[in-house]
Structure 1
Amino acid sequence: MERAFQTSMWLLNPEVVFILGDVFDEGKWSTSQDWEDDVRRFKRIFRHPVDTKLVVLVGNHDIGFHHEMTKQKLERFEQVFNVTSARILTIKGVNFLLVNSVALHGDHCPICQHVEEELQKLSHALNCSIQGAQHNGQCKNAPRFSPAAPVLLQHYPLYRVSDAMCTGVDTAPLDEQYLLFQERYDVISKNASKKLLWWFKPRLILSGHTHNGCEVLHENLYPEISVPSFSWRNRNNPSFILGTFSQSEFQLSKCFLPEERTVLVVYCSSCLIIALITLIHLKMFRNSLQFTNNLIGKHKTL
């Protein structure tokens, strides 16, 4: 993972890198010392040039599922990565909507209520910017954003029944594609999905969580791409997405890491070849030594 990321930094030199949550293994259970150790490891693996912006979203393994999420866990994460639960980040006129999807349960818990209120404010301000109504009475004090539909980024995917509708080269295995998803656990709820689409009308949704790739179209209008895991621990062929964005268009390319089994085969084959070469050399050395001893023995006899 570290080598793949550092190689991509060296080759691509991206302006911004988005990580869609679950940057820790079990951050929800980490003690203060464990948390500090994990943060140091993360910063070592994902070190980057000063001119590259690293944006990290929160996932359920970072702060726990909804029933495990606490204000202390969330604040600890937000302080380390300088991120909030609902935010629009504008880069060269492109709006990226960053959402804490763990808090989209809609059960009026304090954190969930705060995130929903912030999303409503952002939706209002963005609509004012798109409509050019900044001088309108209702829009007068609203923050200004680029007048363009946003790219929505969050950890959980939007609601879908299963992975059966997914397309792409790294979708779930056939025996998993028809397993039904559980709302608020595998995907966000149907109601939360409708709200996000209604409030922001995103031109692209990027999500993670399922560890498998998926390309799906919501309401025949809004494309979503679930980015698979970036770790060999979760799949044989991890990948990341390289994207180029303008205010009206985007282009995406999927970049795969070497398959884990291929790397293991190469390592095992290399070790076997080295062992065979070593044995051959040892045998040749013994034969040469035996031949030399025979010559010496004959010389002494004469």
Structure 2
Amino acid sequence: MDLSTWNWKLLLPLLLFGILFPYEDWVSTPSCTIVPTTAYPNQEYVVDKEDNTEEDLKVMMVANLLLYGSEAGIFNQYFRDYYLSKFFMKSFHTLKPDMLLVLGDVSAKGFELTKTKWVSVLHHFHRIIGPFLELPFHVVLGDRDVGECSKLDVRSVQWLARSFPGLDSAGCGAFEISNVSFVSLNAVALLCGNNKLRFNVEGAIESESIDLQMETENISKVMDDSEKFSELSDNFRWRENAKSSGSGPVLLLHFPLHQTANGSCREGSIFEKVPSFFQRGSNALRSREFTDSGPHNLLHTIPPNASEYIFQALKPRIIFSAHTDEFCDHTHSDGTREVTVPAMTWRVRDNPGFVIATFHSDRRPVSVSYCSLARESHVLMVHMSFLILLLTIWLVANTPLLRSLR
């Protein structure tokens, strides 16, 4: 073998690998577009650039990671989870968010896991989000994390809530960052009839509602516990909140609220639709898992009476939900905007995505950007082409007949 042949065999694979690494860096970079609000219906679709002021709060919102921990197979571990980690890394460095919110379903089958296996999922989660551990982050519990109503266990939820920052024993949370107030609810429990966790969540809603009214009315006296936490019935009787719509906290849920307006979702032409075979697979998977858990689980939204109760009690500024795996931008009848965050995993979508929400210090409407990520089918195609090229090079270099034809 002469020197030129040896150089050719050595340099061509190195050249291919030299192309692959920049490709991976490029394909991991999210593409973000501002979603126009109803307040600015004529706003053009533009790329979300770094035009926020230092006082604005930029929050990255993801959902439905569906991690398996140590149970992940080779394909998931070395391909899907590898790229998911790169997605988080590139999003952190390019978008520079101030906070991370995960709107449920961290685990694919968390409700079936022992505590030891859940710890494995939590370690997996921390490895995936990587640099976001340096920022404030908050996790909302999803149905895959805690199970549907028939499997909802108070002690398991309490243990899991202690594993994530800012959650109480019912899986709810309330916090403030950069003068923006957030309330997260264990929406799974609100689907579950006479369940102890549901009553605890209702108590958390009532407590937040009273705090909201006391802040508004500047009430100084402390209310008795019996008055502050009035008993709530199945009919959701609540104390009327005098605050106007949109004046309350940012509400974080896993399940979307019940939608009554015509045309429940607004998904503009800038968003590429998911191929129908991916949609059918995702919906079929969910319907198989919720066949014996009550009608509201089959609807995959919070029941109408619970939704109305939340609107009246909290008067949310804006709502962010998940669960459906798809992006949705909906305006409720009282003008409250609800944004449903898509799944950020290739396990249910060929084109995963997430949302960037910017809360402006001057109380302008919240800016929402939809960020899309690379399609799994496209990345697989590139990798397959790369392997075929390497195999072809190897065959050409090692087959005597082909060498003689050269």
TM category (shorter chain) comes to: 0.7 to 0.9
Distance in 2, Cα, partners of 1:217 & 1:75? 33
8 A contact 1:21–1:155 mirrored in 2: yes
| Aligned with 1:26 (options 106, 109, 124) | 109
Distance in 1, Cα, partners of 2:222 & 2:250? 27
Alignment partner of 1:157 is 2:259: no
Alignment partner of 1:119 is 2:232: no
| Aligned with 2:158 (options 75, 82, 86) | 75
8 A contact 1:95–1:148 mirrored in 2: no
8 A contact 2:247–2:316 mirrored in 1: no
Alignment of 1:13-92 (within 5 A): 13-49=96-132, 51-82=134-165, 83-84=167-168, 85-92=171-178
Alignment partner of 1:251 is 2:367: yes
Q: Give the TM-score of the pair, scaled to structure 2.
A: 0.62
Where 1:97 maps in the other structure, the secondary structure is strand
8 A contact 1:170–1:213 mirrored in 2: no
Q: Return 5+ residue gaps in structure 1 as ranges.
A: 292-302
Where 1:48 maps in the other structure, the secondary structure is helix
8 A contact 2:274–2:349 mirrored in 1: no
Give the greater-gyration-radius structure (CA).
Answer: 1
Distance in 1, Cα, partners of 2:384 & 2:297? 43
- What's the counterpart of residue 265 of structure 1? 381
* More displaced stretch, 224-233 vs 25-34: 25-34
User: Shift of residue 138 of structure 1?
Assistant: 5.7
User: Shift of residue 240 of structure 1?
Assistant: 0.9
User: Shift of residue 165 of structure 1?
Assistant: 2.5
Where 2:188 maps in the other structure, the secondary structure is helix
| Letter of the structure 2 residue corresponding to residue 60 of structure 1 | D
* More displaced stretch, 237-246 vs 40-49: 40-49
Alignment partner of 1:183 is 2:269: no
- What's the counterpart of residue 231 of structure 1? 345
Residues 5, 68 of structure 1: alpha-carbon distance in 2 compared, 3 angstrom cutoff: same
Q: Deviations over 1:157-209 (max 9, x none)?
A: 001379952121266777979x9995244111001110111111212111111
Distance in 1, Cα, partners of 2:346 & 2:262? 21
Aligned residues: 284
Distance in 1, Cα, partners of 2:180 & 2:404? 74
Distance in 2, Cα, partners of 1:200 & 1:173? 37
Distance in 2, Cα, partners of 1:251 & 1:97? 19
| Letter of the structure 1 residue corresponding to residue 212 of structure 2 | L
| Letter of the structure 2 residue corresponding to residue 149 of structure 1 | G
| Letter of the structure 2 residue corresponding to residue 24 of structure 1 | S
Residues 96, 173 of structure 1: alpha-carbon distance in 2 compared, 3 angstrom cutoff: farther
Q: Give the TM-score of the pair, scaled to structure 1.
A: 0.82
Sequence identity (%): 26
- What's the counterpart of residue 96 of structure 1? 182
User: Shift of residue 5 of structure 1?
Assistant: 1.0
8 A contact 1:23–1:42 mirrored in 2: yes
Where 2:296 maps in the other structure, the secondary structure is coil
Residues 128, 262 of structure 1: alpha-carbon distance in 2 compared, 3 angstrom cutoff: same
| Letter of the structure 1 residue corresponding to residue 139 of structure 2 | V
- What's the counterpart of residue 321 of structure 2? 207
- What's the counterpart of residue 218 of structure 2? 133
Q: Return 5+ residue gaps in structure 2 as ranges.
A: 1-83, 229-245
- What's the counterpart of residue 195 of structure 1? 309
* More displaced stretch, 159-168 vs 8-17: 159-168
Where 1:254 maps in the other structure, the secondary structure is strand
| Letter of the structure 1 residue corresponding to residue 386 of structure 2 | S
- What's the counterpart of residue 33 of structure 2? none
8 A contact 2:205–2:314 mirrored in 1: no
